[in-house]
Amino acid sequence: MRRPSPAGERAPARARGVVAASHGRQLLVRVDGESDLLRQAVARGRRSDCCVGDRVELTLIGDTQAAIESVEPRRNCLRRSDAGRTKLLAANIDQAAIVLAGEPLFSEELLVRVLAAAAVEQVSVLIIAGKTDVADAHARIEPRLRLYESLGYPVLRLSAKAQPQTSIETLQGSLAGRCTLLLGQSGMGKSTLVNLLIPEAEMATQAISEALSSGRHTTTFCRMFDRGTHLPAGAALIDSPGFQLFGLAHLSASQLMHALPDIAPWLGHCRFGNCQHRDEPGCAVRAAMDDGALDARRHALYLRMLEDTLQTGRPY
Ligand X SMILES: Nc1nc2c(ncn2[C@@H]2O[C@H](COP(=O)(O)OP(=O)(O)O)[C@@H](O)[C@H]2O)c(=O)[nH]1
Phi and psi for 61 in degrees, rounded to 5?
-125, 110
Which of the choices Zn ion, ligand X, Mg ion, none does residue 133 contact, using the CB cut-off of 5 to 8 A by kind?
Answer: ligand X
CA triplet 234, 156, 112: central angle to 5 degrees? Answer: 100
Q: Is 161 in the site for ligand X (CB under 6 A)?
A: yes
The closest of 204, 238, 236 to 218, measured between CA atoms, is 204
Site string for ligand X, 101-140 (x = CB under 6 A): -----------------------------xx-xx------
* DSSP for residue 264: G
Residue 298 near residue 306, CB atoms below 8 Å: no
Strands (E), 185-285: 222-225, 236-239
Which of the choices ligand X, Mg ion, Zn ion, none does residue 192 contact, using the CB cut-off of 5 to 8 A by kind?
Answer: ligand X
Which of the choices Zn ion, Mg ion, ligand X, none does residue 285 contact, using the CB cut-off of 5 to 8 A by kind?
Answer: Zn ion
Q: Return the number of the residue (32 or 133) whose C-beta is nearest ligand X.
A: 133
The least distance separating Zn ion from the CB of residue 296, rounded to whole angstroms, comes to 15
Number of residues this chain uses to bind ligand X (CB under 6 A) = 16
Task: Please identify which residue in 59, 65, 192, 218 interacts with ligand X, judged by CB under 6 A.
Answer: 192
The least distance separating ligand X from the CB of residue 145, rounded to whole angstroms, comes to 15
Q: Is 219 in the site for Mg ion (CB under 5 A)?
A: yes
Phi and psi for 155 in degrees, rounded to 5?
-125, 125
Q: Is 247 in the site for ligand X (CB under 6 A)?
A: no
Q: Is 218 in the site for Mg ion (CB under 5 A)?
A: no
* Residue-by-residue DSSP string for 178-190: SEEEEEE-TTSSH
Amino acid at 218: T
Residue 93 near residue 181, CB atoms below 8 Å: yes
Residue 78 near residue 93, CB atoms below 8 Å: yes
The least distance separating Mg ion from the CB of residue 219, rounded to whole angstroms, comes to 5
- Contacts with ligand X, residue ranges (CB under 6 A): 130-131, 133-134, 159-161, 184, 186-192, 242
- Contacts with Mg ion, residue ranges (CB under 5 A): 191, 219
